[in-house]
Amino acid sequence: MADTRPIGVFDSGIGGLTVLREIWKVLPNESTIYFGDNSRAPYGNKASSTVIRYSLQNMEFLKSRDVKMIVIACNTASAYAYEALKDRANVPVVEVVTPGAEVAIRATKNGKIGIIGTKATISTGVYKKAVEQSALKHGIKNIEIFQNTCPLFVSLAEEGWWDNEVTRLTAKEYLTPLKEAGIDTLVMACTHYPLLAKVIGEIMGEGITLVNTGEAAASVVKSVLEENDIAATGTDEPKKEFFTSDDTAMFESIATPFLGEGLPSGTQKFITDVYKVEI
Ligand code: DGL
């Protein structure tokens, strides 16, 4: 039976839109509710307990809207809070780390994989572990992993500076060590980074595969819906709802050039710290 309840997607801000867009591509019948916690972004330089609390609050909000699944469209929140959310969600929870690692292992030819993310994501080591586990699963040996944090990328993405000289210089600084290490695959382990993919691709040069963790996660969302028999197969026009914890006009002005088709529209404001959660 068709389950027309929406899929709930959250991120610290606009980065999760890179995941949402991929979900729309592979699941055009699904309604979605997106929550961007812009007022508390960035998450990437916060303590794990803070990110877990924020993520639980965001989850409570999405659950209050009767979602059938929760997608953690943020690598930082996936790295810190997936276990806590999974245990309390009562609906399937999809994170973005494992799918991204899988794609990287399938893409690499020379076994040299770069991972860029927020300080939080990189310092947990979850990505490195996920890539190593995926290599083991596929019987691939001699994997070398090179990591770097790119904290300024988040602000540049939120600012809408997706293709600009400041971004180019910043990217050169962050990415040159990875390029010199000879990687052939680069995981953009932060959902904000695909917004800067043009500049990142230019700096890395031809022949380097950029892994978009949102694209990887969207196919997992599809399989989890099918496995749980909760996909929307109906012909009704799916609803696309947006919430932010900050200024709605600002959210829309940054997100619109990326999502296109006059989206997002009708964005509402909601502050999720009204939910008291126990960590
Ligand atoms: N987009 C988020 C991620 O994937 C984090 C950005 C931030 O809030 O620091 O890690």
State pLDDT tens for residues 34-56: 999 999 999 999 999 999 999 99
Q: Are residues 139 and 239 in the same domain?
A: no
Residues 88 and 225 grouped into a single domain:
yes
Q: How much distance in Å is there from the Cα of 74 to the middle of ligand 1?
A: 5
203 and 125 together in one domain: yes
pLDDT of residue 262: 82
Distance from C-alpha of 279 to C-alpha of 262, rounded to nearest angstrom: 39
Q: Check residue 261 and give its pLDDT.
A: 76
Q: Which of 107-111, 123-127, 259-263 has the lowest mean pLDDT?
A: 259-263
Distance CA 220, CA 119 (A): 25
Indicate which residue of 74, 150, 178, 204 is catalytic.
Answer: 74
In a domain, 1, yes or no: no
Q: Is residue 279 part of a domain?
A: no
Token pair in block for residue 188: 């953009």
Phi/psi for 269 (5° steps) reads -100, 135
207, part of any domain:
yes
CA distance linking residue 127 with residue 88, whole number of Å: 23
Domain total for the chain? 2
Residues paired with residue 150 on neighbouring β-strands, in sequence order? none
pLDDT of residue 192: 93
Compute the C-alpha angle 272/72/267, nearest 5°. Answer: 50
Are 84 and 148 found together in one domain? Answer: no
86 and 110 both lie in a single domain? no
Looking at 7, 77, 188, 190, which residue is catalytic? 190
Contact 211, 127 (CB under 8 A): no
CA distance 178 to 186: 9
pLDDT at 158: 85
Q: Quick one: 188 and 234 in the same domain?
A: no
**Ligand 1 pocket member 187 (CB < 6 A):** no
CA distance 176 to 269: 40
Are residue 170 and residue 198 in the same domain, yes or no?
yes
CB distance 81 to ligand 1 below 6 Å? no
CA distance 191 to 28: 21
Q: Report whether pLDDT(260) > 90.
A: no
Whether 51 maps to a domain, the answer reads: yes
**Residue 235 binned pLDDT confidence (cut-offs 50, 70, 90):** low
CA of 237 to the centre of ligand 1 (A): 31
178, 194, 213 - which closes a domain: 213
Model confidence over 54-85: pLDDT tens digits?
999 999 999 999 999 999 999 999 999 999 99
At 278 the three-state DSSP class reads coil
pLDDT digits (tens, 9 = 90+) for 5-24: 999 999 999 999 999 999 99
Residue with tokens 């026009």: 237
Say if residue 221's pLDDT is above 80.
yes
Does the pLDDT at position 1 exceed 90?
A: no
The whole model's pTM is what? 0.94
Atom from ligand 1 closest to the CA of residue 189: 4
- Residue 68: give the domain boundaries: 7-95+216-274
Same domain, 103 and 87: no
Name the percent of the chain lying above pLDDT 90: 92
HSE-up of 160 (CA within 13 Å, CB side)?
10
Q: If you measure from the C-alpha of residue 97 to the centroid of ligand 1, how many angstroms do you get, rounded to a whole number?
A: 12
- Same domain, yes or no: 117 and 20: no
Residue 236 has pLDDT above 80, yes or no: no
pLDDT at position 20 is 97
Domain for residue 226, yes or no? Answer: yes
Q: Flag whether 79 is in a domain.
A: yes
Domain end point (choices 213, 235, 251): 213
Helix axis angle for 165-180 and 151-158, nearest 10°, is: 150
Burial class (CB within 10 angstroms; exposed 0-12, middle 13-18, buried 19+) of 277 = middle
In terms of domains, do 201 and 66 share one?
no
Over the chain, what is the mean pLDDT?
A: 95
List the CATH number of the domain containing 242.
3.40.50.1860
Tens digits of residue pLDDT in 83-93: 999 999 999 99
- Per-residue CA distances from 181 to 7, 108, 175, 198, 227 (Å): 39, 14, 10, 21, 40
pLDDT tens for each residue of 113-164:
999 999 999 999 999 999 999 999 999 999 999 999 999 999 999 888 999 9
Identify whether residues 241 and 177 lie together within a single domain.
Answer: no
Q: Which of 183, 213, 243 is the last residue of a domain?
A: 213
Answer yes or no: do 86 and 109 share one domain.
Answer: no
